[in-house]
Structure 1
Amino acid sequence: MMTPTTPINRPLGDGLVLRSLRDSDDAERVATFNGQIFGPKVAEMSRSLMHHHPATRPEHWLYVEDESRAQIVSSLALIPWQWRYEDVTLKSGEMAIVATDEAYRNRGLIRALAVRHQELLCVGEFDLSHIQGIPYFYRQFGYEYAMPLEPGWHLELRQLPDAPADSAASYHFRPATCDDLPLLMRLYEEAGQSLHIRTVRPAGAWQYLFEHSEGTETQGEFWLLLDAQEQVAGYWRVAHFGFGTGLIVSETSRLSGPAAEALLHWLKAAALERNKPYIRFNLPLTNDLLRVAQGWGAHDSGTYAWQMQLVDVPRLLSRLAPVFERRIAASSLAGLTQRVVISLYRTAYELDIACGRVTAVNALNRCDQADLHLPPLLLAPLLLGYRSRAELNSMYPDVRVRGQSQVLVDVLFPRLESFIYSIY
């Protein structure tokens, strides 16, 4: 939101200056530039986020200007999120809407913007940073694929039979409104219990989705499913835009088997009405609707991934200490006392564990006698449960674990079920 701020003004040479938003005129210039690169829906999304989203601030919107032409030539935004890792709340700063004018590419402008983005992450004490991003490019800034993004489960309409003649008497459907927000928030929290890592979506973000996402790249519609007694049996969201040509289901509550079947029939009818050739489920594997759709033959066409950066590893490990302690207590290592060292080859981190409690986390220069060795970027997929130690070891020979430490490493870093629903 456009609150007072002290803008940055950083000369880059050759008449180029890195800035943050100074006023509403700057906001409109950045939105217009983003639209020139990505299209009008991203322009409108930029405007809406800058002016209406409760999490964003003017200093989070960065751009490079060619002063000789008074023209914006590159831009990047930091969008703050909150994630819940089991019972620990973490701050993640998305690197979003990254764009450079074609005539100014290969001049290090994104690198300069990324440096400022990193400064904001550190000053704001963010734990993580995430980006959708093009393949490979963002590894140079410390990002690695480490969270599922945009699953592509497809159900062809021919695979799903028509609704039974009496189904209309059992369930009916209506669009959700702002008046339904308390109910939607409760159902959302209940659905998130099946995930180890998930998005915290506060009331302000819910209100943004209902009131300020129309006309943007992330526009969608929320619906309620009601049973024969007019009791809400669940909700779902249809995204208006996304990958593929199908009808995209981007979110649902928990659903009973009969409710999920009724919703599938509604989705088939909606897909036919909207001239969509199939239904696409952008949902986690734990989702009730997806599991029922799999029974009807939904097939996996592939999943992309969020690229993740761990902003401050010692601080993050310290914040996750309650999670590690709970995992140790539930294992054969209950009551463990040990110094655990994770080596990233050039740096290392030490967890001091006494009687099953993490008493300290320390950064080390390096350590050749570590319990676990792995390349720096691979700590993110391990810590976030995207890959297990065994999976990483099978893919990368330089992932090594000391024999007697293997059980402990696997206890501390298990595979996790995670999914990040949008806050905008």
Structure 2
Amino acid sequence: MEVFDPRYCADLGSGFIIKWADAHAARAYATLCDVVFRRSADAPLRTTNADTVAEWMQNHPLVGEHDIAVVVDQDDVVVAGAILLRQPMDYAGIQLYVGRPEMVVCHPDFRNRGFIREIFRLLHAKSHARGDALQGITGIPFFYRQFGYAYAIDFDQQCVVRFDSLTALASNSSPVHLRRARPDEYHEFVRLYDADRLNRGLLCTTPFERSYYTHLCTNSTSLTMFDLLFMTNAHHEVIGYLLVHRANYGTNICVLGAGVATGVSWQQMLTPIIQALAVYRSHIVITNPDIHALTGVNFVLDSIHPIYTQVQHGYAITTEETYAWYVRVADFARLLTALIPILEARVHRSLMIGYTGTLSISCYGSGVVLEWQDGRLSTVRNTRPPIMGEGADACLPHDTFLMLLFGRKSLTDIRFWHHEAHASTEATQLLDILFPKQPSWFQWMN
């Protein structure tokens, strides 16, 4: 029986079994999430994470019927688990699907037994079987590297603007009002959202499918998610959108996405937008009993968002460096085959138009070969090159090739910091064309 079969289970020894969760085990896993993720061992138990799992189990557009893997003891008590979401990604106009392990938990009494490794084995097998091009996760620094992940896709950059800094800023613009998007306004929302994500030179972005939009507007109550808000002017005309997290981020309201209509100026509208968010904060659920008021707005956006340029002028801000997604690609040939149209287009627009030749890339133990004929990528195949990389046109440690492929680092960046990375003159020229450095905004969906 294949490991992704819903009936699969395996003995892990000492009375422990790994399996795909049924309804009973899924509910127990949900409770375990709240136990493990609470702020301290003696903190009161909250249901925020259990409520999210319950929402995932009810015809959620990103989750299937048997997408929770659990480890249970001999009494069928869940001691570890994780769920696998399936989220769309737009890579330069090509739609891919990403398997996303989430809510990875293990009871403290049962750690260091390899249970999470076994759970990831199941999740990866299911993700591959259903055709996902890659897996992505955020979370514990360094931890997920042991399962083949590396930081490779831009996630967000954070900037906090304090509400009390607005008193010193004058605005000649009309006030902005915020309202929730309705289920029947999908096309209006996507028009604004796509104009924002597709017209700013971003490589990897998140397309908003109608099923997910409808879910957020009608069925979703989880505090781990965001609300879709329209910004309107005094005439009730829609002038932009915001993605606003339903719960607090520390002492701040959190904005995860922001875009304005054509002809609307960020320079003129940013202060009214922040003022509108100061009013809207009464709708935010504060989950930490030690926090009594929200004092600012935390913009959690892509690194080149125009808001970050505008807030440099007169606003009291604090910033954090860009965060990144952990990414795992087990089959480079599958992913690169899906990307053939964009790779061929990049060559066609370059000095190497009509290129014929072979590009062999070694990741020191794994690798991929790209065979070109008259500017067309005719063959993409995985290889097992020598461990020292002998004979390859380019040698790139596995995590650095991921950074290159997803635009996070240029080949020049990688070669400066990683002495194991090198390439021939022709390979360098071709890799620079195929994989230019480019920011991303891959927005998580829950």
- Please tell me the root mean square deviation across aligned C-alpha atoms, in Å: 2.3
The gaps in structure 2 that reach 5 residues or longer are 39-46, 285-292
Matched residue type, 1:9:
C
For 1:248-267, list aligned pairs within 5 A. Answer: 248-255=254-261, 256-257=264-265, 258-267=268-277
Q: In the superposition, relative to structure 1, how do residues 228 and 245 fare at CA in structure 2: closer, same or farther (>3 Å)?
A: closer
Aligned-pair distance for 1:270?
A: 4.6
Q: Distance in 1 between matches of 2:177 and 2:345?
A: 43
Q: 1:263–1:352: structure 2 CA closer, same or farther, 3 Å change rule?
A: same
Q: 1:26-58: per-residue Cα shift (whole Å, max 9, x none)?
A: 322221222221242111101101213122113
Partner of 1:222: 228
Match of 1:232 in 2: 238
1:129 aligned to which of 132, 135, 150: 135
Distance apart, 1:277 and its partner CA:
2.5
- 1:47 matched to 2:69? The reply is no
What residue identity is the alignment partner of 1:390? T
Within the alignment, does 1:109 sit opposite 2:135 as a pair? no
Q: Which moved more, 1:240-249 or 1:398-407?
A: 240-249
Counterpart residue type for residue 206 of structure 2: T
**Separation of aligned partners in 1, 2:348 and 2:318:** 38
Q: Deviations over 1:112-156 (max 9, x none)?
A: 111111211221121010011201111111000012234221223
Partner residue, 1:62: 69
Q: Determine if the alignment matches structure 1 residue 281 to structure 2 residue 273.
A: no
- In 2, the alpha carbon distance for the partners of 1:58 and 1:196 equals 32
Amino acid at match of 2:217: F
Change (3 A) 1:171 1:157: closer
1:378 equivalenced with 2:400 (yes/no): yes
Offset of 1:91 from its aligned partner? 1.2
CA distance in 2, matches of 1:342, 1:243: 42
Where do 1:91-102 residues align within 5 Å?
91-102=97-108
- DSSP-derived class of the 1:125 partner: coil
Q: Which shifted more, 284-293 or 85-94? A: 284-293
Equivalent AA in structure 2 for residue 306 of structure 1? W
The whole-number CA distance in structure 1 between the counterparts of 2:171 and 2:272 is 12
Aligned positions of 1:313-332 closer than 5 A: 313-332=332-351
Deviations 1:332-356 (A, max 9, x none): 1111112111111212211111121
CA deviations 1:209-235 (Å, max 9, x no partner) are 2233324322x3332222344321111
Shift, 1:271, TM fit: 5.7
Query: Quick check: 1:387 aligned with 2:409?
Result: yes
For 2:362, the aligned partner's letter is S
In structure 2, give the amino acid aligned to 1:36: V
Matches within 5 A, 1:194-209: 194=200, 195-209=202-216
Is the 1:148–1:304 contact (alpha carbons within 8 Å) kept by the matching residues of 2? yes
Aligned residues: 416
Deviation, 1:160, is: 3.2
Partner deviation per Cα, 1:270-305 (whole Å, 9 max, x = no partner): 569973232211011333334322334444222321
CA drift at 1:158? 4.2
Aligned residue for 2:89, secondary structure, equals: strand
2:192 aligned to which of 172, 187, 194: 187
Query: Residue by residue, what CA displacement relative to the aligned partner does 1:81-122 show, whole Å, maximum 9, x if unpaired?
Result: 110101211111001110001111000100111111121122
2:287 counterpart residue number: none
Name the SS for the 1:111 alignment partner: helix
Once the two structures are overlaid, the 10-residue window that deviates more, 277-286 or 127-136, is 277-286
Look up the equivalent residue of 2:359 and give its one-letter code.
Answer: V
Q: Is the 8 Å Cα contact of residues 8 and 59 (structure 1) preserved in structure 2?
A: no
Asked if the contact 2:70/2:119 (under 8 Å) is kept, the reply is yes
Map 1:167-186; keep pairs closer than 5 Å: 167-168=173-174, 171-186=176-191
Q: CA deviation at 1:78?
A: 0.8
Structure 2 residue aligned with 1:245: 251
Which stretch of the first structure deviates more once superposed, 117-126 or 274-283?
274-283
1:120 to 119, 126, 143: 126
Q: Partner residue of 1:78?
A: 84
Which residue is equivalent to 1:410?
432
- Runs of 4+ that moved beyond 6 A: none
2:161 match: secondary structure = strand
The DSSP-based 3-state class of the residue aligned with 2:66 is helix
After TM superposition, give the deviation of residue 238 of structure 1 in Å: 1.7
Confirm or deny: 8 A CA contact 1:21 1:58 kept in the other structure. Answer: no
Partners of 1:229 and 1:344 lie apart in 2 by: 58
Assess, with a 3 A threshold, how the Cα gap between structure 1 residues 254 and 342 changes in structure 2: closer, same or farther.
Answer: farther
Match for residue 422 of structure 1? 444
How far 1:261 moved relative to its partner?
3.8
Q: Is the 8 A contact 2:393 2:427 kept in 1?
A: yes
Checking the alignment, whether the CA contact within 8 Å between 1:157 and 1:268 is kept in structure 2 is: yes
SS at match of 1:253: strand
1:422–1:210 distance in 2 versus 1, CA, 3 Å: farther
Q: Distance in 2 between matches of 1:350 and 1:120?
A: 26
CA distance in 1, matches of 2:432, 2:248: 36
Q: Equivalent of 2:369, from 350, 355, 363?
A: 350
Q: Matched residues in 2 for 1:390 and 1:380: separation?
A: 14
- The 1:116/1:164 distance shift into structure 2, 3 A limit, reads same
Higher mean C-alpha deviation, range 198-207 or range 262-271: 262-271
- The TM-score with structure 1 as length reference comes to 0.91
> Which residue of 1 is the match for residue 160 of structure 2?
154
Between 79-88 and 242-251, the greater mean CA deviation after superposition:
242-251
1:63 partner amino acid: V
